[in-house]
Chains A and B, each alone.
Chain A
């Protein structure tokens, strides 16, 4: 497998390394220095930095603008794009803009419903869904065309990613839907945060049975728990999250001042365990508002230093 775009993530995967990605949530203000600060913390320890797109439908600094800042710092961003807020005109326009700034990774998402965010009365768009956004980026990159058929002289060079939630229902649909995203053009997948290992491995088994791991690189989603409260919140309030009671019990089983450390221990153990799981090509570490712990997780999981592919 050889890389087709200048994407560092694509090159790392093509060279057969386990990839390590993380994410950076932009601020709810125009404070660009905060983006830089987060990027500097995680950047040296991972391959590419995802930048979330108004996650949980809460207004934040634009993903594209934040990606440009990160790129200018010398790190490689992954532009997350949801179809909730922009129609096909806005999405294609931003993909062209990202291409113009040398952004080479895009993660195509549908996005959380706006009822969860800070503007529940907002209109949604959903002109395209995530699968259709994947098709659109692929069309732009491989055929040099917009959805209108317009041909462009300079194409955006995107390594195309998508998300998948192995824990959503109905379970048996999840692999079929992954296959659909792969058929549409997805090249890497970052999964929902994994806590239910048994169910995740069941899903991975199906992915391998369908031969999908040969066509798409699966990066396992890891989110360290900061507190018992966070674990309970994720279990009951976050759509599509599967947090077994054993995780909550384990966090409750240590002294209060040690809970955060136990959360990190769990994350490191999960990575170690999943390294042995057939089909896993890397890890997506989402340390929510806890970016400073990413270096420790990467080091302790034996994933540091990162390979140099350029």
Chain B
């Protein structure tokens, strides 16, 4: 899922301090799972903003809502009758949700309430880590199911580099060396042949390097 973390409240205050009515809009999708932008975080941010502006003796009405998803027009549409009552929306969705809110309500000021971080997994309660960079052409079949693009700091396709030490990456002793993981996994599977074969330069056209991406599934279109 897409991981995000709440922005510092000062950053949000800076954008809305001259307004009177703000709607904090959460998303019950990915950002709710990583505890950055679901209903609970909407309540926390709204309370914090009310307290902040009360201390400043500044009038500020803060509304609260959380949508099923903000990356879907159907759910964004639920705000149609309500959004006009506010000066701005602080969206706690990922970057995609914030932008889709902007496109849906093009007269409204929309501010992000979280920093969108990565596509990853829940390691344990309160700990999340990256697994995928959405390169658009998955090579997990050849690397034992461990992604060198998201797990190697240099995204090497023929690693590990000379900085690999005791299973850790040169950039940080807390970061696992993705290529050591790949090697161990392929060895365990009896597939070291895959490791021994040089991987040629990757075609990055399907990743962000290829420009804004779009996909169409004809049979799903109305």
Q: Is B201 in contact with A113, judged by CB distance below 8 angstroms?
A: no
If the complex has contacts A135-B200, A180-B198, are A129 and B166 also in contact, measured as CB distance less than 8 A?
no
Residue among B154, B167, B170, B171 with most chain A CB within 10 A = B154
Contacts of A127 in B (CB 8 A): 201, 204
- Quote the shortest CB–CB distance from A82 to chain B (angstroms): 10
Interface string of B130-174 (1 = CB under 8 A from A): 000000000000000000000001111111111111110011000
The chain A residue sitting closest to B196, CB to CB, is A176
Q: Is B167 in contact with A183, judged by CB distance below 8 angstroms?
A: no
Cα separation A202 to B49 with both chains bound (whole Å) = 64
Q: Is B154 in contact with A113, judged by CB distance below 8 angstroms?
A: yes
How many residues in A have their beta carbons less than 8 Å from beta carbons of B? 34
Q: Is B201 in contact with A168, judged by CB distance below 8 angstroms?
A: no
Q: Is B158 in contact with A131, judged by CB distance below 8 angstroms?
A: yes
How many residues in B have their beta carbons less than 8 Å from beta carbons of A? 31
**Is A22 an interface position by the 8 A CB rule?**
no
Cα separation A136 to B158 with both chains bound (whole Å) = 14
If the complex has contacts A115-B171, A131-B198, A169-B180, are A239 and B158 also in contact, measured as CB distance less than 8 A?
no
Contacts of A170 in B (CB 8 A): 160, 164, 167, 180, 183-184
Cα separation A164 to B161 with both chains bound (whole Å) = 9
- Quote the shortest CB–CB distance from B84 to chain A (angstroms): 41
Q: Is A169 in contact with B153, judged by CB distance below 8 angstroms?
A: no
Interface string of A114-137 (1 = CB under 8 A from B): 011000000010111111100110
Q: Is B164 in contact with A169, judged by CB distance below 8 angstroms?
A: yes
Task: State the 10 A-B residue pairs at the shortest beta-carbon distance, nearest first.
Answer: A165-B162, A239-B170, A239-B163, A131-B158, A129-B156, A240-B162, A168-B162, A126-B154, A132-B201, A168-B164
Taking beta carbons and an 8 Å cutoff, which residues of A are in contact with B?
A: 84, 88, 110, 112-113, 115-116, 124, 126-132, 135-136, 147, 163-165, 168-170, 173, 176-177, 179-180, 183-184, 192, 239-240
